[in-house]
Structures are given as C-alpha cells and as structure tokens.
Structure 1
Amino acid sequence: MDMADDAIGLLEKLDIETAHVAGHSMGGMIAQLVAIRRPDMVRTLTLLATAPSHTFDETYQPPEVLEFFMNDVAGMYKKLALPSMLMPLTRKKMIKLIKVFFGLMDGDFTTPHGEEMLDQYVNAYNSDGRKFNITSWQGMAIAASKSRADELKKLNIPTLVVHGDKDKVLDFANGEALAGLIPNTKLITIKVGGHMFPLIDTYNDEYIDDMINHLQTTD
C-alpha cells in the first residue's frame, strides 16, 4: 500500500528516527507494512482488529464472513461509477453494517449503545458530502493488497495484538494468526468485542493498561 510509504515519508520528513507504530483494521495492515519495510524505525508495533492478509483470504476468514464480503461488499465495490459511489447510507444499510462492524447481534438495537450509535453513524456518513465512497475505496485498497505472512515472520519488534472474539469483519483467527506469525508477540482477547471495539469505552479496561506497558518496554 502506498499509505505505508506515506507514513514512512512523514516520519523521515519530521526527522523522527523511531516511533511506536499502531493501527486498527486497515490501519493495522499499513502498520505491518511500515514495520516490514522499515523495521529500524519501529520501536513497538500495536495491531488492533487487523489481519496478516486481505479480507477475502480464505485462510483466516470463516465461510459466513467471506459470504458477506463477497456478496454484499464486493458487489458494491464493482459499482465504480461515481454516482453509485456517492450514494448516502440508508438506516437499513447502516443497521446491517453496525451488526457486522460492532458485533451487535440484537436486531432491535436494545443494547446500551444501540439507537444512539445508529443515529450518530447515519448522520455522520450522510453529512457534509461524506458518503459511502470512503468505505468503498478503503475496501478496494485492502482487497488489492497481498499477504504479509511470510514477511511478518522475519520481524524482531515487540508486538501487541488486540482482537475482539466477536469480530465479524476480520475474524478472531486473524489475531491469533498475527500472534503466531510475529515473534515476540502478545495477544489480548477482547471478550464479546466486535471489529470496532476501540470506539466503545466499556472495553478500555481490557487492554489500555497492557498497551501502555507495551509502549514502555523500549523506554
């Protein structure tokens, strides 16, 4: 991904010789590439809800997740004409996405985060010209990426992997795979955590202290 080179270039421009590198989901994939391309610049690596390969890799994704992406998401990616990429999200579409990304399985959204979160996300995506094209382009970038498994095995960087066991976007098996591929890695499991667990405060106690300790390992 060019974004990994962008991150490396920014660090160089700012004369930052080494940095703690962290990323969530696609950001975690970019963080992996930064570590692979410039391991000398990475003091620690923190990977949240991410994967060693792209979304459509059958190695780490269960059949039901692959079916969702291939039928629902991939179908959307094929509609590359600008008008279709700028369609606003409907409440029905957002409900489906929140179920997947946040791991909320209550169809009526009677969870503590339910209706309020739904309204916030529908409004955010449909305001100020910010439409669903953002997610579409991001997904295409991920789908175009290659597996990093072999390169990850060569890293010698203190690494923390944090993954929700109810992640329906990048199955928990991806977190386990990362922990198995990268030497010197600790895996933290977020119980009943979905893909977007970092945005939900109630999960903070499960990993924040460990993350702080992780960042201090090289100080």
Structure 2
Amino acid sequence: MNMLIKVNGIDLAYDSYGNEKDETILLIAGLGTQMIRWTVPFCEMLAARGFRVIRFDNRDTGLSTHFSHYATLDFEALAKTLMSGQRPDIPYTLNDMSDDTIGLIDALGIQKAHVVGRSMGGMIAQLVANRYPERILSLTSIMSTTGNPELPPTSPDVMALMTRPAPNPMEDEAGYLAHSVAFARRIAGTGYPFDENEYHSIIREEVQRAFDPGSVGRQIAAIAVSGDRRPQLAKVNVPSLVIHGVDDPMFVPACGKDTAHAISGAEFMLLEGMGHDLPAQLFETVVDGIVRTARRKR
C-alpha cells in the first residue's frame, strides 16, 4: 500500500516490506521511472533475507510531488550553459534528491540504512553515502556511473530514443506502449528473454499512477549538473558493491568499473547478458550481492 510522507517540504510516496525491527534497505529508482520498477517479488525476496525494504517514488515521479510548473527544459540551452561554465537554473539537483532519501528515513524514525540505487538512483545513493556517512550502513550502485567526463558516452541512438517525444498515452495508448517498449528493448541485455507483457503491465501501471512527460528532462538536468562524483566517492568508507551489465548501452561497463575503482574496497560484479535493466532471472544474484554487502564487516 502506498503511503505519503512530508519530506523537505514535498510529499514522497513509499511502501515497505518485511519486519520494521530489521535493518532497512532503501531502494532508489532510476531516471523518470517509479518505485514499482523495483518489483514486488524483488522486494519480497530481499525482505525474506531479514531486512525491512522500503521503495519510494523520487521527487517528480509517481505519486510524489511533481515539479511540472517549471518550463519544459531546452536541452541545447542547458548544454550551452554548462559548456560556458555557468550554472543553469533548474528545479532541483541530485543533492536535493539525496537529501530526500535521508529525509525519508528521518521521517520514518530510522537511524541508519543500506542504500541501493539503479541508474540515476545509483548516483543518488553514491551521494547519500558521501554526504551522510553516519547514516549509511552499505552502498550498492547498480548500472550507474561516476560522472567522469572521460568515460564513453551513451550511444546516440539510445539518447535519441530516450529523449524523443512520446505519444500521449491518454490519446494513443498503443503508440505510447510501442514507444516505451522499443526503448526498453534497446537497453535490455541479450542474455535473457525480453518479456514484452511484463513491460506492458509495468508501463501501464506507471501511467495510471502519474503521467508527467516533463519529469525526465528535469531529472536529466539534475544529472547534467551533478559533475564528476569521483572525489566524493573517494571518501565513501562503507561496504560497497557495484553491479553492472556487460551489455549495458546506456552506461557501458567502463562506467561501472570506474565507480568501483573510485570507492575504496568496493566489490565489482559484472554480469553477462545484463543490459540497462534487471530481469527476473537475475533477482537472486543481485539480492545475494546486496545481502553479502550489507553483512560485510565494517
């Protein structure tokens, strides 16, 4: 059941699995996606290993507070501002989103938590571990990156698929599904069957919860101004795991390697056949890694 809680002057939607007395694992979602991308079976599998598992909608997604009153972002103007060394005027940054994460556990009366983030959520988790070291028990960064400008960029066709305008699902549901599934298929790995029906149902559920086409642009802007996180990652001193897919076209494996290299003592788990998604066949492998990291001696 989704619950709303006031954090940093906004509402965050969350739900919880497992025993409230167990150590908490916070699951942080990726760019423009909702907490339901951390599927119920995945959450239950983690909770069954002896943890309280909390997933939540980042600001500007799902049932959390949206920032749709801001003008649609112009990517070219954003790029020019960044290139000129100026700071663009954007609604929020990844630091704000990391503050939300800690605000959530504050509001729930939780002293310390394990943080697990995927993609943009991995970036947020990295910042949380750096900025709030006394609150974090372990860090797992999945299919993410450091912001190192020397890393290979996302392939242009993936960027084009991600940023092209989608049909309005209220007017053309079939077109919207086709658009969303084409992107999901492009970033998926080659090692596991692509479950189109599963994607249809999760995309439909996201649309029913909230449809806000501008939020992806606002979150891309937050990522764009985040810069190179390697100096912050060098200060992270909790047990850390970096999980990455060999087939990831969004952030190539070098991005995961760079993340693991930047964090002292981090374990690097490179998974064959995994792209920029988390197929059900890998749930157990990923859960094992998260739990192993959470139980590593500090």
* 1:158 maps onto 2:235 in alignment: no
Question: Which structure 2 residues correspond to residues 52-201 of structure 1 after superposition, within 5 A?
Answer: 52-53=146-147, 58-62=149-153, 65-68=154-157, 71-74=160-163, 87-88=168-169, 90-103=176-189, 112-127=193-208, 130=211, 132-197=213-278, 200-201=279-280
Counterpart Cα distance in 2 of 1:180 and 1:130: 38
What is the number of equivalent residue pairs in this alignment? 199
Change (3 A) 1:73 1:42: same
> What's the CA shift for 1:70?
5.1
| Partner SS for 1:188 | strand
Q: Please tell me whether the aligned partners of residues 143 and 245 of structure 2 are also in contact (alpha carbons under 8 angstroms).
A: yes
Residue by residue, what CA displacement relative to the aligned partner does 1:15-71 show, whole Å, maximum 9, x if unpaired?
A: 433211111111111111111111111111111111111xxx652235xx3423554
Residue by residue, what CA displacement relative to the aligned partner does 1:60-115 show, whole Å, maximum 9, x if unpaired?
A: 235xx342355454565xxxxxxx8x83353442243112332359xxxxx73343
- Superposition RMSD in Å: 2.8
1:17 maps to what in 2?
A: 111
Change (3 A) 1:132 1:52: same
Counterpart Cα distance in 2 of 1:69 and 1:201: 23
> What's the CA shift for 1:136?
3.6
Change (3 A) 1:114 1:13: closer
| Partner SS for 2:270 | strand
* Greater percentage in helix: 1
For residue 29 of structure 1, the aligned residue among 113, 123, 142 is 123
* 1:206 maps onto 2:285 in alignment: yes
Counterpart Cα distance in 1 of 2:194 and 2:185: 12
In the superposition, the TM-score normalised over structure 2's length comes to 0.58
| Partner SS for 1:16 | coil
> What's the CA shift for 1:182?
0.2
The one-letter amino acid paired with 1:96 is A
In the superposition, the TM-score normalised over structure 1's length comes to 0.77
Q: Please tell me whether the aligned partners of residues 163 and 188 of structure 1 are also in contact (alpha carbons under 8 angstroms).
A: yes
- Between 1 and 2, higher relative CO (CA 8 Å, sep ≥ 6) is seen in 1
Change (3 A) 1:101 1:140: farther
For residue 50 of structure 1, the aligned residue among 137, 144, 148 is 144
* Greater percentage in strand: 2
The one-letter amino acid paired with 1:61 is P
Counterpart Cα distance in 2 of 1:122 and 1:151: 34
1:81 maps to what in 2?
A: none
Q: Please tell me whether the aligned partners of residues 139 and 239 of structure 2 are also in contact (alpha carbons under 8 angstroms).
A: yes
The worse-fitting range, judged by mean Cα deviation, of 132-141 and 16-25 is: 132-141
What runs of 5+ residues in structure 2 fail to find an aligned partner? 1-93, 170-174
Q: Please tell me whether the aligned partners of residues 101 and 168 of structure 1 are also in contact (alpha carbons under 8 angstroms).
A: yes
